[in-house]
Amino acid sequence: MRMQEVSEKFAALGDPTRLAILSRLSKGEASVSELAAPFSMSMPAITKHLKVLESAGLISRSREAQWRPCKIEPEGFKEVSDWIEEYREIWEESFDRLDMYLKTIQSKKGKKYANKKTK
């Protein structure tokens, strides 16, 4: 996966309006007017948000006569999930090393304290 694609997806996900649109689409297909209903913005503004999501590969739009349904594209999210997973593994390894280090320190402090009590 190219970094440009990941960056574009995160930029698309970084807007509250687009997140709300994705949340609605997670429940099923919807028309542009249905997606616009909860927002106090113009149809062209909603269309711009949809274009950003579509360009990022997170949704697709089709045409069925007068109806232009939008639907979520799960594959676009898989790429984001895969990218995050790589970093989750790195962080888990770092936390595991930190945990081992802290246990070593606690063990050493416990031994020093036990030695002081026995003297």
Interval 88-114 mean pLDDT = 79
- Return the domain boundaries, the chain: 1-113
Residue 118 has pLDDT above 70, yes or no: no
Spell out the residues 6+ positions from residue 34 whose beta carbon is closer than 8 angstroms to its own.
24
Residue 59 has pLDDT above 90, yes or no: yes
Tokens of 78: 């898989």
Tokens of 30: 């919807």
Spatial distance between the Cα atoms of 71 and 73, rounded to a whole number of angstroms: 7
Q: Are 59 and 50 in contact (CB under 8 A)?
A: yes
Q: Could you please state the CATH topology (level 3) that the domain comprising 1-113 is classified under.
A: Arc Repressor Mutant, subunit A (1.10.10)
Interval 97-118 mean pLDDT = 76
Considering the chain, what is the average pLDDT of its residues? Answer: 87
Q: Are 91 and 107 in contact (CB under 8 A)?
A: no
pTM beyond 0.75: the answer is no
Residue 116 has pLDDT above 80, yes or no: no
